[in-house]
Copies of this chain bind each other. A is one copy, B any other.
Amino acid sequence: MLQTLARAAVLVLLPALAALAADGPPARDLSDGVQAYRLSHERSILQQLETLGRLRSVAADPAGLAATARTLLGWLTQRGFQARLIQTGAQAPPLVYGQWSQPGARRTVIFYAHYDGQPVVPSQWHSDPFVPQMRTAALSAGGRQIDWHAATPPFDAEWRMFGRAVADDKASIIAFLTAFDALRNLGRAPAVNLKVLWEGEEEAGSAHLQPALQANRRLLAADLLLIGDGPVHQSRRPMLYFGARGTLGVTLTIYGPVTPLHDGHYGNWAPNPAVMAAVLLARMRDEQGHILIPGFSDHVRALTPAERQALTALPVVDPMLRRQFALGRTEAQDGLAASLMRPALNVRGLTAGGVGGTAANAIPATAMISLDFRLVPDQTPAQIRARVERFLIERGWTIVTQEPDAATRLAHARVVRVQWEPGYPAYRVDIGSPGMRAVQAAARRSGAGPLVLMPMMGASVPMFLFAQTLQVPVVGLPIVNHDDSQHAPDENLRLQNLWDGIQTYAAMMGTLNW
């Protein structure tokens, strides 16, 4: 019934909203107004998030993804958006597209988020991933289940809603919709034309995104694209990120004897692939994170003075995180933020033979190393592949792309199978350009606290893909808590982050101008 009332309100308000000018009351009023709106609508906002959280929008459930897309399409249409689903492939979940053309607005901004979530293993969760559950705090902080439907708002802002995708990215979608509703409720028109692009295949690798963007370039013409993905700063302050590292994964398989050999009878003679893997790794990267592969950093673009200044201004969270993660040391000596501006060689996995109960006195037949590289501008996956392969060849390795046969293994002293994943480059936009300064100014009007400017996020988001295909600057506008167990069991959203996110989205939507 609440939903019916909300829909009626939309219909009543629409003509008035469309008629409003793009400039309106000052930002302070806006921020206060949005906060007042949120305080009086907490229950319905969370009900929408709960509705969205109950939809099983994961790759394993195509029907759940389709239902989510239809629900979002309905929510946009109800609000007066010109909205439609863009099919990207026969079996692929559609893009949800919506457009709000604001008379008088000079700029157009695309708000991107994804509605799909990471796969779930329900047995690893403390509650059903698709029955959003409110708890008083993080589980690690002793959060206990609470019946929020029976509680009286305003709710404790430290409460968290648990469920798959509620943080990553359904919270951003709800923040966008709520910010729009709040503006409307305040009689305030958007300062820009709005375009919405909600993807349903991000967690599965966005295989159909680039062709879809390419095919819809005219439809998606814009002056700015805001990505509502990723967490805010560990200081819990609102954040913008102006780039993201690229990524490139690779699996190296190293070959020993064709079958595991008794290491009493053959150890010291038959090469041990676990040792070869260890020596190789130790020559690729040291314990301080330095990449030792010659030429690896040839194309690293230097930080601008404005970017260096932004880094210096970041709240220092290193001691807090060291305690939280129980780290006796860190690899980088210049702090977390600075270290994320560099390329990285991460070891995701390393395996050979067995340990503990599965250890046998044997020389393993193979060893495997799984790496992901994090790239920075202007490195490209092609350059990195070439550097790594050159390094391997110079170190005496014979590279194969398939499982080598016995003849190949016999003919070469060191055989490595190299399996590259597709990967994509990094992106970093000039933080000091007029458009970027405007985005910062708008975000500062949110009233959600001092803004954190991150020149580039350490994690990888395919910002380059939007920038390159749509020829548009891209900025990250995350809202969720950093400790949201994103991609893990018990994913959760801290309510204060949603409230702050609504403020930020409203400020962006209502005041962005350059």
Contact = CB atoms under 8 A, between A and B. Distances in A.
Contacts of A274: 281, 347, 349-350
A336 interface: yes
B346 A259 contact: no
A363 B327 CA distance: 12
B275 A287 contact: yes
Interface in A336-350: 336, 339-340, 342, 344, 346-350
B331 A270 contact: yes
A278 B327 CA distance: 19
Interface stretch (A89-97, A179-187, A367-375, A380-388): A367-375
Contacts of A486: 262
Interface string A269-291: 11110111111011101110100
A150 interface: no
A351 B350 contact: yes
Interface residues of A, number: 91
A358 interface: yes
Contacts of A336: 266, 269
A364 B351 CA distance: 12
Interface in A305-328: 318, 321-323, 325-328
Nearest to A260: B488
Number of copies: 2
A254 to B, nearest CB: 11
A167 to B, nearest CB: 13
A327 B409 CA distance: 6
Contacts of A266: 321, 325, 336, 458
The majority secondary structure among interface residues of chain A is mixed
Interface string A243-256: 00101010100001
B353 A347 contact: yes
A353 B361 contact: no
Contacts of A271: 287, 327-331
A107 to B, nearest CB: 30
Contacts of A328: 271, 409-415
- Pairs A-B, 5 closest by C-beta atoms: A264-B459, A349-B353, A278-B281, A329-B413, A263-B346
23 contacts: A249-B359, A251-B359, A262-B459, A263-B346, A264-B459, A265-B458, A266-B458, A272-B346, A274-B281, A275-B285, A278-B281, A323-B410, A327-B409, A328-B409, A329-B413, A346-B363, A347-B352, A347-B363, A348-B359, A348-B360, A348-B364, A355-B369, A360-B487
